[in-house]
Structure 1
Amino acid sequence: MKYPKIPLAQTVVQLCKAKDISNIVISPGSRNAPLTLGFTNDSFFNCYSIVDERCAAFFALGIAQQTQKPVAVLCTSGSALLNYYPAIAEAYYSDIPLVVLSADRPKYLVGIGDGQTINQKEVYKNHIVYSANLKQDVKAENNSETEELPIFKNIENKLEKLLGLQQTIQQENETEINTAINTAITQNGPVHINIPFEEPLYELTDELAVNPKVILPEVNVVKTNPEALNDLVDVWNNTSKKMILVGVNKPNSIEQQWLNKLAEDESVIVFTETTSNLHHDNFFPSIDQIIAPLTEDEFKRLQPDILLTFGGLIVSKKIKAFLRTYKPKFHWHIDEKKANNTFFSLSNHLRGNPNTFFSKFLPKVDVRKSSYFSFWSAIKKNRLVKHDSYLETIPYSDFKVFNQILSTLPSDSVLQLSNSSTIRYAQLFKLNKAVDVFCNRGTSGIDGSTSTAIGFALKSDRQTTLVTGDLSFFYDSNALWNDYIPNNFRIIVINNQGGGIFRILPGHKNTENFDTYFETKHKLSAKQLCEMYDFDYQEVSGEFNLSSALQSFYNNNSRPKLLEVFTPREINDEVLLSYFKFIK
């Protein structure tokens, strides 16, 4: 096997291998050549070449989302690593382990005007769980006089030589790399390892020069305080209105016995979102259907004594507005890392895994008599009847399109959703329980949805369908510049010729200023992109045509498929806004 000649590159590659980081997403460059050579010459690693660094990072995020393991992204120096930042922020807020490996110039070449050189140290410091800035090797195979190396041209580096030389630097680098990767594993978040390399960069060797020490991650076991748990049980048993609100949640992460226990309690209502991946006939999956039409008296009746939350960020603005106005007496949040004070009433951060908490808590609580569930269950049934009636009265529009698409998704498949209007429409419809749902809700940006979906699909043995709006799709169109897209991957682009969500928000619609700077009206089509990237392309407009297209869209094919659904730009907002009036 061939190895990069630079000891620091050997160290990084060996420690990634020792910690089972097998998926490496590489963007081309020269300064990162030692690592690229190290990873690509070792059959242990699955290496993927993605030119656009922004797409590369989201692609890696999708792999990590599916595998639940750290994935490394590798780039050259300069602005390359800045393009990772959107995905880094998403990983930070969505608790996804990414390991950023950025090549850098030696310290003496930073700040002197060299090209592709920026201040890379701690560049992600506000959105990273650990940042390691490694030291450059001072070992030179072909140089007997270490003082001649440019690294010793300033006093600081002369001191480094006197105090430690290569052995000390090697030990420090090993410790930093171990710490960074261990932190990504234990905290489920992004880490940054910045790695300086001196030229020559492309030399190979047949033997390893280093054998880095592997430090195992420390697993902190959170112990439950019995007295504190009993206090929570007492409060729970003495309240008649308990609301559970679940944000982004991994599929199959909560045992069904605990869901059943919650569902049978008359004093509990469970609100879930499309991204919660939790299902029970007694749960309330379409929050805005319930919340939007309520009167003040009904809001007071819904106001919980206890709000128990778990999972990631919440999509529904209506539930957030409600709970910020009609605050619960107690808000408990279950999470191993953090508890956001989303509703300005947080009283307890219950550190740990929701499944573990429920296994200790729910066997101790009583099922209490209450009209809380029955009252809101009756309203839910009424809303669903109204929902079906509304679908029969409206013209062809985004609303009807989402109903058709979401009702035809194949069982045992994966649905990836883009942000903005797409995720909000999806909240209003009942989904097949056998479909798992994912969406980049950490930062809720439109960037990277397609890249993430492709990364996920690559590592999944199930068909993955991305449903996306037109702006989100075109914004991330470089995602299709990718040689790893599986043939069973599907994209549905709902093209309403602009940012339709801005027509729903308050503003002066149908003016030149609005059309240009808010809605960003356009006449783009995905057809030419599909020709360039070898996607099977089909476009439709109209309810009957869409229904016909969907019948064969998910069938096996020799290429990935894209279905572009055109909808009428100027009526979509009115149809959606009228919906909430109709179901009241």
Structure 2
Amino acid sequence: MDGNYALTEYLGAFIDEMVASGVKHAVISPGSRSTPLALLMAEHPTLKTWINIDERSAGFFALGIAKSTQSPVALLCTSGTAAANYFPAIVEATYSRVPLIVLTADRPHELREVGAPQAINQIDMYGSYSKWFVEMAIPENTPALLNYAKTVAARAVATSDSAPAGVVHLNFPLREPLVPNFNHVTWSKGDSVKKVITNKEEKISASVIELLQEVNQYEKGIIVCGPQDQEGFPKAVTELAEVLGYPILADPLSQLRSGKHAKENVVECYDAILKCSAAFEALKPDVVIRLGAMPVSKVLTQLISASEARYHLVVDENLGFRDPTLKATHFLHYDEVVFCKEAATHVIAKRKAKQYLQQWIKANEIARPILQSHVSDFHFEGDVVRRLTSTMKPHMCLFIGNSMPIRDVDSFYFLDEKNIRILANRGANGIDGIISTALGASIEGKRLVLLVGDITFYHDLNGLLASKLHNLPITIVVVNNNGGGIFSFLPQAKEEKHFELLFGTPMDLDFEKVVNMYGGRFKRVQSWSEYEDQLLESYEANQLTVIEVPTASRDENVKLHRNLWNEVTKELQNLF
């Protein structure tokens, strides 16, 4: 049979099985060698395809979709450097445990290493950042090869989505002709031919229950919840905290600061509290129970490192060992929700003193109103967060850029019941691809606000095209301090001779022209009332809206932050 038919049936079988196994979205970067895969994806009746021209942006856009939907997303490009441009998003997906299935088209074997155009070595090119790599067979439509294509597709979906979720890379060597014959492809009705069933433990062992009973003898325990986005987690962990009588130190990405769950034991101002040396010493725990990735707060990590805790439990379903403090005494590989529910059910609550818990709660009550107090100066970056979160409506989504925005959200996002979902790229903690990731996360329809600094915004300006191409309305708040604000908080800020050149990096760019080019609305605000009005207006607009907040000089911003922290420290002196 004609090779074109073989190509069609082979790739059609692969795509159909991939969709039947659970892939609902595919992000495609245009190219020639990937033509048959792209056309067959677009032709599939139930697969939603998204075009993103810039491969780096496309990789992060797919990451955002997978992060938001919590399901694998396919990512397709042509041969050559196109595949290399996916690398930053692949690194982030690996470290943040997001399922991606990367499909790279390639030259056939006879055109490799002979000077053919757009031919580079794509064999296992992502190395250890890929959970599984397959050099696919040259397309044939024999029963054995069609069965092979379906088997790889089903296994790829299952592998990418199994704990720990991550990246699968499939490399497709394809010979011309590259245009498929649609008369020779048959789509199934959604039933997977290859079943992959994963067994998940729904009970904790008797030895773990015994361990928790030992842990429960100690009064001075903390539950540290880092980035975690799992249905049912807030309710489960707060119920466990009630049984143990421990405070929960809740990172903003833990989803514990916003929602209807109980919050009596939830402490959100720990970063400011622990900057008080007396509090830091007094609050060193005997027990640490960690769930989720490492928290944003550096001083909280320092507390964990400095504490000689008798028990330090890291709960992680993904067979991971996320413990940069190197202080963990036990790694418990359970689903976090299952662990919390089981522990709350089986561990017998002890009548022990709760002085330690009350110290945390009282300190939080002292710190919160200070951190909530408005600074008179319009340009304070902390107020950008406080006023943003106060205007957000229930069930919206807040996506946060790295560097200063995530740290300001950690300091200035306070407990509420709005059920705001908070997302960020905290796997590798980079500033690249943030706009694209946020736009990918916005496809489910809930209004999304992206908070970024000016350097992060600049880094992914190409990502704005996805908003225009796919009609994805989004509000982007750009905190513009004309440079890298976070470096002003670091020791190198004292090296004044070279600081601005190497770290401050002022750009003096007018972003309005770029936003207009992508069909968005741009507003540079000059007061807090104007800022809040523009936010509320943007939530109702069916278009990209970029609100730029010009802030104080970077040095002045550091002073404003430290003034608040010093005030918290002053008020805590009497408590410790």
One-letter amino acid matched to 2:549 = V
Match of 2:185 in 1: 208
How far apart are the structure 2 equivalents of 1:487 and 1:474?
A: 19
Please, which of 557, 562, 565 is the counterpart of residue 577 of structure 1? 562
1:354 positional shift? 1.5
2:479 equivalent to 1:494: yes
Counterparts of 1:492-571 in structure 2 under 5 Å?
Answer: 492-508=477-493, 511=496, 513-554=498-539, 556-570=540-554, 571=556
Alignment RMSD (CA, Å): 2.5
Match of 1:361 in 2: 343
Match of 1:41 in 2: 43
Please, which of 244, 250, 253 is the counterpart of residue 275 of structure 1? 253
Report if aligned partners of 1:77, 1:103 keep a CA contact under 8 Å in 2: yes
Judging changes above 3 Å, is the alpha-carbon distance between structure 1 residues 463 and 330 closer, same or farther for their aligned structure 2 residues?
same
Match of 1:411 in 2: 394
Judging changes above 3 Å, is the alpha-carbon distance between structure 1 residues 301 and 441 closer, same or farther for their aligned structure 2 residues?
same
1:299 positional shift? 3.0
Q: Which moved more, 1:52-61 or 1:40-49?
A: 40-49
Specify the SS of the correspondent of 1:59.
helix
Overall identity of the aligned pairs, in %: 28
One-letter amino acid matched to 1:236 = V
1:219 positional shift? 0.6
1:186 positional shift? 2.1
How far apart are the structure 2 equivalents of 1:209 and 1:227?
A: 51
How far apart are the structure 1 equivalents of 2:7 and 2:100?
A: 26
Report if aligned partners of 2:44, 2:187 keep a CA contact under 8 Å in 1: no
2:206 equivalent to 1:227: yes
How far apart are the structure 2 equivalents of 1:19 and 1:225?
A: 29
How far apart are the structure 2 equivalents of 1:78 and 1:206?
A: 30
Match of 1:159 in 2: none
How far apart are the structure 2 equivalents of 1:471 and 1:195?
A: 37
Please, which of 156, 159, 183 is the counterpart of residue 180 of structure 1? 156
How far apart are the structure 2 equivalents of 1:203 and 1:227?
A: 57
Report if aligned partners of 2:236, 2:341 keep a CA contact under 8 Å in 1: no
One-letter amino acid matched to 1:197 = L
Please, which of 432, 446, 459 is the counterpart of residue 462 of structure 1? 446
How far apart are the structure 1 equivalents of 2:72 and 2:157?
A: 8
How far apart are the structure 1 equivalents of 2:247 and 2:26?
A: 43
* Superposition misfits of 4+ residues, deviation over 6 angstroms: 209-213
Please, which of 377, 382, 387 is the counterpart of residue 399 of structure 1? 382
Judging changes above 3 Å, is the alpha-carbon distance between structure 1 residues 5 and 265 closer, same or farther for their aligned structure 2 residues?
closer
1:189 positional shift? 1.6
Please, which of 107, 110, 120 is the counterpart of residue 122 of structure 2? 120
1:107 positional shift? 1.6
One-letter amino acid matched to 1:308 = I
Counterparts of 1:2-17 in structure 2 under 5 Å?
Answer: 5-17=7-19
Counterparts of 1:46-85 in structure 2 under 5 Å?
Answer: 46-85=48-87
One-letter amino acid matched to 2:498 = N
1:228-252 CA distances to partner (integer Å, 9 max, x unpaired)? 1232132122211111000111164
Match of 1:384 in 2: 368
One-letter amino acid matched to 1:409 = M
1:53 positional shift? 0.8
Report if aligned partners of 2:80, 2:119 keep a CA contact under 8 Å in 1: yes
2:349 equivalent to 1:349: no
How far apart are the structure 2 equivalents of 1:321 and 1:108?
A: 55
Report if aligned partners of 2:241, 2:265 keep a CA contact under 8 Å in 1: no
How far apart are the structure 2 equivalents of 1:81 and 1:385?
A: 50
1:528 positional shift? 0.7
Q: Which moved more, 1:403-412 or 1:204-213?
A: 204-213
1:401-443 CA distances to partner (integer Å, 9 max, x unpaired)? 2222222222221111111100000111115432110011111
How far apart are the structure 1 equivalents of 2:533 and 2:147?
A: 64
Please, which of 23, 26, 48 is the counterpart of residue 24 of structure 1? 26
Match of 2:269 in 1: 286
Match of 1:218 in 2: 197
Match of 1:331 in 2: 312
Q: Which moved more, 1:342-351 or 1:471-480?
A: 342-351
Report if aligned partners of 1:457, 1:485 keep a CA contact under 8 Å in 2: no
1:511 positional shift? 4.2
Number of equivalenced pairs: 551
Report if aligned partners of 1:233, 1:364 keep a CA contact under 8 Å in 2: no
Please, which of 340, 347, 350 is the counterpart of residue 322 of structure 2? 340
How far apart are the structure 1 equivalents of 2:382 and 2:301?
A: 23
One-letter amino acid matched to 1:518 = F
How far apart are the structure 1 equivalents of 2:559 and 2:338?
A: 45
Report if aligned partners of 2:204, 2:334 keep a CA contact under 8 Å in 1: no
How far apart are the structure 2 equivalents of 1:362 and 1:181?
A: 34
Specify the SS of the correspondent of 2:280.
helix
One-letter amino acid matched to 1:349 = F
Specify the SS of the correspondent of 1:343.
coil
2:405 equivalent to 1:422: yes
Judging changes above 3 Å, is the alpha-carbon distance between structure 1 residues 512 and 479 closer, same or farther for their aligned structure 2 residues?
farther
Higher-Rg member (1/2): 1
Match of 2:572 in 1: none
Match of 1:152 in 2: none
One-letter amino acid matched to 1:100 = V
How far apart are the structure 2 equivalents of 1:416 and 1:238?
A: 39
Judging changes above 3 Å, is the alpha-carbon distance between structure 1 residues 355 and 138 closer, same or farther for their aligned structure 2 residues?
closer
How far apart are the structure 2 equivalents of 1:27 and 1:4?
A: 24
Normalised by the size of structure 1, how large is the TM-score?
0.89
Match of 1:194 in 2: 171
Q: Which runs of 5+ in 1 are unaligned?
A: 140-165
How far apart are the structure 2 equivalents of 1:392 and 1:14?
A: 57
1:339 positional shift? 2.8
Counterparts of 1:99-114 in structure 2 under 5 Å?
Answer: 99-114=101-116
Match of 1:322 in 2: 303
1:108-160 CA distances to partner (integer Å, 9 max, x unpaired)? 21112212111111111211221111121367xxxxxxxxxxxxxxxxxxxxx
Specify the SS of the correspondent of 1:177.
helix
One-letter amino acid matched to 2:251 = E
Judging changes above 3 Å, is the alpha-carbon distance between structure 1 residues 546 and 526 closer, same or farther for their aligned structure 2 residues?
same
2:455 equivalent to 1:474: no
Report if aligned partners of 2:380, 2:560 keep a CA contact under 8 Å in 1: yes
1:536 positional shift? 1.5
